Structure formats: C-alpha cells, structure tokens
Amino acid sequence: MVALRRHRGVFVSIATALAIIASSAAAAAQDSDAAAVELTPETAQDFLDERLPALLDAHGAPGIAAVIVADGEQAAAGGYGYANVKQQQAISPSSTAFETASVAKSFTTMAVLQLVDRGLLDLHADINTYLGPGAEVADTYPGQPVTMHHLLTHTAGFEDALSGDGARSADELPTLEEYVTRTRMKRVQPPGRFVAYSNYGMSLAGFVVQEVTGTSFEDYTSENIFGPLGMASTEFLPASEAREKYDVATTYYADGSPTMEIHLAGAPAGTAVSTAEDMSRFIRTLLHGGELDGQRVLSPESTQQMLTRQSGMDPRVTGAGYGTWEFQLGPPSGLGHGGDLPGIHTMYVVVPELDMGIYVAVNGDDGENSTASNPLEDLRFSVVKEFLDTFAAESAWPDAAPDPSVDLSRYEGTFVTTRNSVTDFSKLRVFMDNLSVSANDNGTLSIEGFSALDQTWFPAGEGLFVAENREDMAAFVEEDGRVIALALNINPTQAYEKAAWYEQPRAHLISWAAATLVLLTVLAWPVAAAIRWIRRRAHRDSPRGASLARLIAGLAAASSVALIALLAYGLANNAVLEQWLFTSPAWLLLPVTVGALAAAASVVAAVVSWRRGWWSTFGRVHYSLVALAALLFVSLGWTYNLMWTPFG
C-alpha cells in the first residue's frame, strides 16, 4: 500500500493493513519510443549504488535493502543506511531480515497452489468444502459461494474490519484457527463484484492449507517452500519471536522514533520475515516457472497463474494475479506485491517478459523533512518506479483529449473505498479515502481525493480517463446502465463504490461539525448564570426538572467533545492509534454510548419543556435544537460503529 506521511499516513496505511492503499501501484506510462536501459549486473549495481543513496536522502528514511534479478539470476544487491540508527548498524542484503508485511501473501498463495497441483484443492469450489465447523463462510448470497479464486484475488466481498487483527501482547495472540473462527468477517458484496483488499481472506486461504494438510501453516510453508528454495532466513512467525531468531531491522516512524511492536494475528496475511537475498530466490523461482536449483515447488501452470491477470475491475486498468497485483499493464507487464506496516514498507515486482525483477525493503516511514516531490510516493515506491521506468519502460497509454460535445455528468458523484468496515470504527477511513468526481464544461473530469492527486482527467474511451500528468488512469464501472464504481490504475487493490447522497463522507463530516457546534452552545447557560451572579441580578429559580434537563444536555455536549478529543489524541500519537486500530478497546465506544443516553433523555426533556413552559420561547427552541443536535451526533457515531449496542 502507499502510505502517506505523518499522522494522516498512519491511519491510511494501517486501516487499509491497514489500512488505506494496499500494497501495489502502477509505474507511470512512458512515451512509446522511450528506450529502456539494458539490465546487466553492471547496470543493476550502478542503479542501486547511485539511485538508492540519493533517494534515501531525499525521503529521509533510515535504511533500505534491495536486490535485482536479471536473466533469471541475482544481478545486484545492496544495503544502504542503517538497520539500527542508534547503534549505527549497517544493512546487509544477505543477513538483515525485514518484516515482509503483505508481501507474505505471495508465499501463502504459493502454498495454496501447491495443493491445487496435488489435486487437493479446487480453485472454484465452495471454500466451505475445506472448512470445519465454526470457520464456515456465511451463505449471505445464496447460490454465490466464496471460492479460493475469490480469496486469492481479493474479490470475496468481505468487509475489512480491523478489530481482532492484533493483540496487546504476544501472549494474547490467537492461533490461526482461533483468529479465523472468531473474526468471521461479514460478506458485504456478492463475490466477484468488487475488488477489496482483504487480510482476512488471505488468512482464510492459509487456514485452508492448514486444514487440508493437517500441518500448521507455519510449518507447512517452511517445509514446502522456504526450505526447498534455500530461503534460510525466511519464516512465518510473530515479530517478537522473529527478533529473537533473526537479525531483524529496527523500524521507525517519520519522526525518527522506533515503532511500537505490533502483535498481528492472521499469519498468512503478513507475519513473515525475509532478507533481500532470500527474496531474490523467491523472485527467481517465479521467473523459472516454479523451480530453483533443481527444486520444484510449483508447476509451471500454477506459477503462470501468479504472473498473469486473473481478475480486475476493467481490463484497461491494473488488476490481480493469484497472490500478486499488476504494477503495469505493459507491454512489458509487471506483477508483484507490496507490504506496509508502521515503519516497514516492502515491495517486489517481476517482469516476466524481460526475465527480471526487483525487491525493496525500507525500515522506516518517510521522514518529516522528506523532499520527495510526491507525498504519495514513499521511498520504496519511488525505487520500484524508477527501476521500471529505467529498465522496463511501459508502452504508451491511450490517447486522451477533452471533448466538450460529450456529456460527462453521468460520472459525477462521491465514490468511497470498497476496503471498508461495517462492524468497527475503522469505517472512519472513508473520510480519508474517498473521491469526488465532477464534470467540467470543456469535456474533462475533475477527481479530487488523495488517491487521485486532485487533477483534471481527459477521456480516452468509453468510461476511461487519463490523468493530466499521465501517471494514472480511471475506469468507471457500470451495472444495468448506471455507474456504480471507479477503479484507479495506480491502485488495483480496491475499487471506489458510488455513494448515495446520504452516505457521502463529506456530508457526514459537515453534519457532525454542525451538530457539535450546536451542542457547544450549551456553554451559554453557565456563562449567563455566571454573569448574573457577578452582577447580583435576581433570577427566578428554574424548576428542578429544567435544571436536570440542562445537565443532561450538557452531558451530551461533553460526550461530543470527549470523542473529538480522543480522535485528535489518536491522530497525534502513532503508537496509540495503532493500538486502538488493531485491538479496538471497548472504552472508545463510551463517549457516543453515553451521548446516546443523554440524547434520548434530552429529546424527552425537550417535549416536557414545551408542555410545562420551562424557560422562554427562545430558550425552549434552543433546547430543542440542542436535543436534535445530540441525536444527529449520536446517529453519526452509530453509523461509524462508535457506539456500543446490546446487538454487537
């Protein structure tokens, strides 16, 4: 995923892992006559030694390891910066291990496809065929079962809640079976309709491997993938154990402080470690058709399924292979996977047509003083992009030009990420990951939103638009003659679904702000009372019920302020926010839950105030508005899963 810097980036990268753009991006299109540099061991090493130190300095990250494969063999490797800044420990591509994050999903996919090769799994059978009691996928859409194909292409239609994805300590980590049976993500779309990156889906795929083989997932991958391939420093295991067993790089936030250790559940989705040179062996295996040094771990046919498109929202923009994402459509095509956790960013890309590939691992977020020209392109992304542009330049994209004669209003609207939650407060990510599309009079579109880099888009075909800077394409998806979604070429890991007017995050944010402002007007009551006391003015005592009503309204206002303060505190403290996102502490629901009780009581009090004539007419109108504002505040809190209910 592409992580934004500082606090905004923490929320997006985690909630979409987090969190918001998952682990892949397409390289910018080049002119059709752009000549790629020949990739040799010399040019590969020159690229690493010249560009990586410069990019490391520009992005302000602590360190980076990289390896390049050419002609199916390791051509160059290098480590730059520090694995541990305090100890000035250099990075070694052969011995410094990095948490792979979601790159591990490609390992999981290889394990699944091994079982397909052996006739033990059918990619298109109902996944419940392989799951025991307690782990079955709900039959939410009768006649449309989730299959392994859907899991490997992230099209199963699961929500992407984060609660349960982490634990407060290593001792509290659930086993893979416990995680799968406890979590059981809700199905929110029919399978195959939308792509929506799913850590749960990949964990479920890994659990199937465990169920079918009768061997723990971790042992199976070590014995059937990492061992045979000679990947001696690669293994699925919790981060705390990895640091005891391997020389794992320390990871850092943008401000240079070490990251908090995260205890992640769902091993198949991303809890592996590996070195750059081990990843070279994995890339070479893919390029060699599933074999390395005489050890075959996958059939050529299954390997090809990892390196060719298997699914996508529109054939004109990037999509998914099995356990991989397209980085560029080509020719030449490039596929691979990226991974993100706080302070760790990894990515590999394989270009089968040119028999080449690259792997990059960075042990820190871009620094606060990063001079990178594009805040959406972190160090890892920039290295891969430059590599592809230099050695595997993509053919030109479609011609695009404005056409004022065409009515583009049908594409207008707000589109929200399909990688979203319906059960926990990580649903708040839609405030940061949504796109606003408007049609311009000159036959172009404007798309606003961080993923789209706010710019003008030119039509390049029916429902296809190219960004003015020619670094992205957008394809609109239709169903029954109406636009239902759009897909961005730069991020095949999710689509953006068109939102109804009442679902639009911007409207919700404005409503939330308005409700809070009205609630804050209750401060006028104690201020007015204080002024009267200072001036020693006589004031008729209010009935006890009226005084209680104002206290209740004050409690509703205090609840709104408490929620805002909590969210602000979380956004200002990386470690705190990460802990909340992965463990979803129940007390975070307290402000809105208390506010709900106060709002209900305030509505009753408002009705009573009119019946009994409390206060002046203006006072009763004001109180009624406060009660309505409390209801609005609570309803929005409920919408974003910030309120406890007895129904779960």
Tell me the residue type at 137: V
Give 589-620 pLDDT, tens digit per residue: 999 999 999 999 999 999 999 999 999 999 99
What's 6-391's CATH class?
alpha beta
Query: Where residue 32 falls among pLDDT bands split at 50, 70, 90?
Result: very low
Q: Is-contact 37 391, C-beta < 8 A?
A: yes
Give residue 648's pLDDT.
61
Give residue 28's pLDDT.
42
Query: Where residue 25 falls among pLDDT bands split at 50, 70, 90?
Result: very low
Per the prediction, the chain carries an average pLDDT of 91
Alpha-carbon gap, residue 272 to 235, rounded angstroms: 5
pTM for the structure as a whole = 0.90
Which SS3 state, helix, strand or coil, does residue 77 take? Answer: strand
Q: How many CB atoms lie within 10 A of CB 42?
A: 11
Query: Where residue 285 falls among pLDDT bands split at 50, 70, 90?
Result: very high
Give residue 586's pLDDT.
87
Give residue 16's pLDDT.
34
By percentage, how much of the chain surpasses pLDDT 70? 92
| pLDDT exceeds cutoff 90 at 513 | yes
Give residue 541's pLDDT.
62
Return all residues near 137 (Cβ < 8 A) that are at least 6 apart. 127, 128, 131, 145, 146, 156, 184, 187, 204
Q: Is-contact 397 473, C-beta < 8 A?
A: yes
> What are the two backbone dihedrals, phi and then psi, of residue 129, each rounded to the nearest 5 degrees?
-55, -30
Lowest mean pLDDT among 117-126, 500-509, 572-581: 572-581
Category of 450 on φ-ψ map: left (φ > 0), alpha (ψ -120 to 50) or beta: alpha
Give 327-356 pLDDT, tens digit per residue: 999 899 999 999 999 999 999 999 999 999
Alpha-carbon gap, residue 483 to 411, rounded angstroms: 7
Provide the token pair at 276: 């750059």
| pLDDT exceeds cutoff 90 at 639 | yes
Give residue 23's pLDDT.
36
Alpha-carbon gap, residue 340 to 22, rounded angstroms: 8
| pLDDT exceeds cutoff 60 at 128 | yes
Give residue 481's pLDDT.
94
The domain limits of the chain are 6-391, 504-639
The single-letter DSSP state of residue 493 is T
| pLDDT exceeds cutoff 70 at 297 | yes
Q: Is-contact 316 464, C-beta < 8 A?
A: yes
Rounded mean pLDDT of 16-35? Answer: 42
Q: How many CB atoms lie within 10 A of CB 510?
A: 11
| pLDDT exceeds cutoff 50 at 22 | no
Give 140-169 pLDDT, tens digit per residue: 999 999 999 999 999 999 999 988 788 878
The label of the residue with tokens 């009573």 reads 608
281: enclosing H helix or E strand: helix 276-287
Give residue 198's pLDDT.
97
